[in-house]
Each structure stands twice: as structure tokens, then as C-alpha cells.
Amino acid sequence: MTNGENLFSGEHISHGGLSNAGELADICPAVFQNDNSWSRYARKLFYLGGNITGWKWKLNDEEKQRHQFICFQAILVSFKLGIEARWGVAGWMLSEMLSELPTHVPIKKR
């Protein structure tokens, strides 16, 4: 698994997480293992409860977008990964999902 290959191939597991979370953390590119704009955006989405309104996806297939978003959400709540690894993999996922980094976090209405 390299360069994002199989990044979205894991299965969502019932108690939170992704079946291949550990593998993804092990191969996460160094740029995402440090604080960067993609990982900061992932962190904001998690803490602020943001949604995907206005995202510019790389793929036009809505079913694939939905699957990628499910994998992304599963990583954010993974119990298999430490917090830093979670942000790194989540940022990496976002960079592979989206054609550009959104400028704001659309907050879900409560």
C-alpha cells in the first residue's frame, strides 16, 4: 500500500474505527504526520461537528464520495490510533478526497 493506494479500502468497525487504521498510520506520509493544513482541517471538522457542504471532490461518483467520507469519519473516532496518528491519516485522506482544501468549516446546525 503506497501513495494512497487502498487508502479507502478498510471496513468500518462497529466500535469505532477502520479495520486497516494501524496499517494506514504506519504508511502515512511524513508531511501528514506533522501539523499541516489538511490535518488541522480534519481536527476542526471533528471538534466543531462540521459537514461536507461545499467540498470540491476529486471524484464525481456520489457513492464513492460517501464511502470515502465514511472511512474518514471512522478514522476520526478510531480507538486503535493515538490522537496524532488519527489527525495525520485523516488529513491524508482529505488530501486524497478533495481537489482543494476548504477555506472554512461549515458547522452543523444543532
Mean pLDDT (the chain) is 86
Q: Where are the domains of the chain?
A: 21-97
Buried b (16+ CB within 10 A) or exposed e, 56-88: eeeeeeeeebeebbebbbbbbebebbeeebbbb
As given in the structure block, the three cell numbers for residue 32 are: 501528514
Give the residue, 46 or 109, on which the prediction is more confident: 46
How does pLDDT run across 32-49, given as a tens digit for each residue?
Answer: 988 899 999 998 888 877
**Whole-Å CA distances, 1 to 4, 44, 52, 56:** 7, 28, 27, 25
How does pLDDT run across 13-32, given as a tens digit for each residue?
Answer: 887 889 999 999 999 999 99
Is residue 104 over pLDDT 80?
Answer: no
Is pTM beyond 0.75? Reply is: yes
User: Contact 24/10 with Cβ under 8 angstroms?
Assistant: yes
Is residue 97 over pLDDT 70?
Answer: yes
